[in-house]
């Protein structure tokens, strides 16, 4: 029983850290559009380097603007990295 509790506790700890990292990354994108208007250009440093984008409404809260890269594939779509050469 103690072993199961320890495993669950460790799993919870890792998942909370991942959620905190995601929230911090999103806040950086929101800060990039602070004091800007809809469709304004924006940039910030992301996990994989500099991101150049435009300010768009957040999908969960339309009153919040967030910097999005227009060339980034949407979830479930493959980018050029994911395509196989034929």
Tell me: the pLDDT tens digits for 24-74? 889 999 999 999 999 999 999 988 889 999 999 999 999 999 999 888 777
Q: Give the pLDDT of residue 86.
A: 43
Residue 52 lies inside a defined structural domain of this protein: yes
Number of domains observed in the structure of the chain: 1
Residue 17 lies inside a defined structural domain of this protein: no
Residue 31 lies inside a defined structural domain of this protein: yes
Residue 49 lies inside a defined structural domain of this protein: yes
36 burial level (CB within 10 Å; 0-12, 13-18, 19+): middle
Residue 59 lies inside a defined structural domain of this protein: yes
Strand order in the sheet with 65-68: 41-46, 49-57, 65-68
Residue 9 lies inside a defined structural domain of this protein: no
Domain range for residue 68? 27-72
Residue 65 lies inside a defined structural domain of this protein: yes
Asked whether residue 14 carries a pLDDT value surpassing 70, the answer given is no
Kindly report whether the global pTM for this prediction surpasses the value 0.75.
Answer: no
Where in the chain does DSSP place strands (E)?
Answer: 41-46, 49-57, 65-68
Residue 21 lies inside a defined structural domain of this protein: no
């Amino acid at each position: 029983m103690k072993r199961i509790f320890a495993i669950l506790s460790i799993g919870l700890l890792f998942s909370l850290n991942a959620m905190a990292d995601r929230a911090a990354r999103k806040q950086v994108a929101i800060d990039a559009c602070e004091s800007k208007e809809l469709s304004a250009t924006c940039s910030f440093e992301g996990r994989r380097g500099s991101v150049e984008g435009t300010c768009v409404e957040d999908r969960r809260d339309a009153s919040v603007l967030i910097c999005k890269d227009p060339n980034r594939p949407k979830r479930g779509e493959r980018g050029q990295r994911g395509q196989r050469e034929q």
